[in-house]
């Protein structure tokens, strides 16, 4: 076996382990395949070049793996791929108080059981108690609770 093949197996194994750490968190097939390729590369070195070369390649692979994992995590490369923002608003926030039980409106979209409706000239998200309501159907507010407007077909 040539050194190029052995080095390629070890490098591909290292790349797969880095991919495992950065893009596929958890213990998955990608990490196992990368580790297996590295082991095959080291085993081939022992078989074809003897124990001294095998121990050198094993030590180099271990040190290389450790350095790559350390620098990958310490340079915070993964933060570029992470979602840093968060949504702080809520559905119908501040709009609920404007609607009263018994007010009527029209379903703008199908309510299955959640959808949009127009009540008092405003389009808001509403919910039924489980039944489906087709678009353009007349609806009436049954109750208002927990930032939800519960409606019923008229």
pLDDT at 69: 79
* Second CATH level (architecture) for the domain 97-153: Beta Barrel (2.40)
User: Which of 92, 88, 121 has the alpha carbon at shortest distance from 104?
Assistant: 121
- Spell out the domain ranges in the chain: 3-81, 97-153
Measure the CA angle with vertex 142, ends 138 and 145; round to 5°: 130
d(CA 39, CA 102): 72
d(CA 102, CA 100): 6
pLDDT at 9: 94
Q: Are strands 114-119 and 122-127 parallel, antiparallel or unpaired?
A: antiparallel
Q: How many CB atoms lie within 10 A of CB 99?
A: 19
Phi/psi at 123 (5° precision): -95, 120
Quick check: 16 and 30 in contact, CB under 8 A? yes
pLDDT at 117: 95
pTM beyond 0.85, yes or no: no
pLDDT at 83: 72
pLDDT in single tens digits along all 154 residues of the chain:
688 999 999 999 999 988 887 777 777 888 899 999 999 999 999 999 999 999 999 999 999 889 987 887 777 766 776 677 777 766 656 677 788 999 999 999 999 999 999 999 989 999 999 999 999 999 999 998 877 899 999 9
Sign of torsion over alpha carbons 73, 79, 81, 83: positive
């Amino acid at each position: 076996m040539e050194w190029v093949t052995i080095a390629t197996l070890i490098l591909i194994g290292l790349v797969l382990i880095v991919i495992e750490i950065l893009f596929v968190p958890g213990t998955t097939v990608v990490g196992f395949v990368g580790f297996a390729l590295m082991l095959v590369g080291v085993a081939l070195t022992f078989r074809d070049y003897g124990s001294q070369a095998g121990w050198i390649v094993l030590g180099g692979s271990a040190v290389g793996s450790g350095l790559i994992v350390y620098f990958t995590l310490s340079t915070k490369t993964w933060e570029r791929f992470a979602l840093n923002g968060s949504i702080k608003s809520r559905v119908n926030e501040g709009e609920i108080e404007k609607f009263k039980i018994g007010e009527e409106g029209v379903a703008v979209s199908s309510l299955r059981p959640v959808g949009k409706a127009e009540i008092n000239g405003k389009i808001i998200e509403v919910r039924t108690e489980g039944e489906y309501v087709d678009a353009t159907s007349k609806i009436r507010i049954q109750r208002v609770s927990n930032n939800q407007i519960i409606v019923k077909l008229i």
